[in-house]
Amino acid sequence: MEHAITASLRPGHGRGALITGAGGQLGHALAETYPEALALTRAEWDVTFPASELLKPELVLHAAAWTNVDGAEDDPQDTAAVNVGGVQHVAELGVPFVLYSTDYVFDGTKRTPYVESDRTNPLGIYGRTKLHGEAASGEHVWIVRTSWLFGATGKNFVRTMLRLGAERDEVAVVDDQRGCPTFVGHLAQATAAITELPYGVYHVAADGDCTWADFAEAIFEDAGLDCRVRRITTAEFGARAPRPVYSVLRSERGAPEMPHWRDGLRECLTLLGAR
């Protein structure tokens, strides 16, 4: 194996690894998948500040990030402090790390899946800071671009739709953005295989693709909620930040293949007790 330092990073283990952002949905999934890792919440390490000298991990799974896409437009400085400065502080530990990035580094003008060699061109502050974070990560890093994360914890589209679907007869959902909804549990499980690969950029997202409206309909169907989806455009929704209309990710570099997004949705709903 090329990186013997990561030998213990497999589901159920994680000795020697450190997880940042353990209070978020991805960090929580990583902590469950690698229970022997040291999982730190923002209260335990705010990555906008350098790490304590007492922290001496062998590997870092860097899940801490500013993920409020619209909020980033109003607070670019704080977004950069987390998404760029935070990466720099992890890199200063001098150990290999996994950096979780985003499909929003692309502008969405392509109509076939984005691969690792495609030109980046983020539309908003969030995507721009994540791309700058990639540039600040150094050489000993696996950059994992993923898409439309959801899980049983935290704030995400699935949990929001379950709440709205229980309260309303109809919800309006954007139907002109297409991506790959990715279950954080599947991404966490794939991380061990990622660290077996050479350092570099990898696209790791769920199999299949859909629009947000398609996703909402699947959530209601699998959860048994009698709620209609009214399909609207991005312009009608009026979000603060621009988003790529197409951001399907696929790998040309041998990244781990992921289960279909419908399988991830069913696993998530089971965890939530919503099936």
Give a yes or no: residue 275 inside a domain: no
**Within-domain flag for 92:** yes
Q: What is the model's pTM?
A: 0.93
Which pair of structure tokens corresponds to residue 16? Answer: 């020697």
The per-residue pLDDT for range 144-158, each reduced to its tens digit, is 999 999 999 988 999
Instruction: Note down the domain range covering 126.
Output: 4-155+181-207+247-258
Cβ 184 vs Cβ 150: under 8 Å: yes
Q: Per the domain annotation, does 78 fall within a domain?
A: yes
> Is residue 148 in a domain?
yes
Q: What is the CATH number of the domain that holds 193?
A: 3.40.50.720
Mean pLDDT (whole number) for 203-232: 97
Residue 112 domain-assigned? yes
> Does any domain span residue 174?
no
> Domain total for the chain?
1
- Which one is catalytic: 100, 104, 114, 126? 126
> Quick one: what percent of the chain has pLDDT higher than 90?
90
In angstroms, rounded to a whole number, what is the distance separating the alpha carbons of residues 95 and 73? 32
- pLDDT reading at 189 higher than 50: yes
For residue 218, being part of any structural domain is answered with no
Q: What is the DSSP string of 113-124?
A: -B-TTSPP---S
Token representation of residue 206:
């769920």
100 catalytically annotated = no
pLDDT score of 2: 45
15 — pLDDT class (breaks 50, 70, 90): confident
Residue 81 lies in a domain: yes
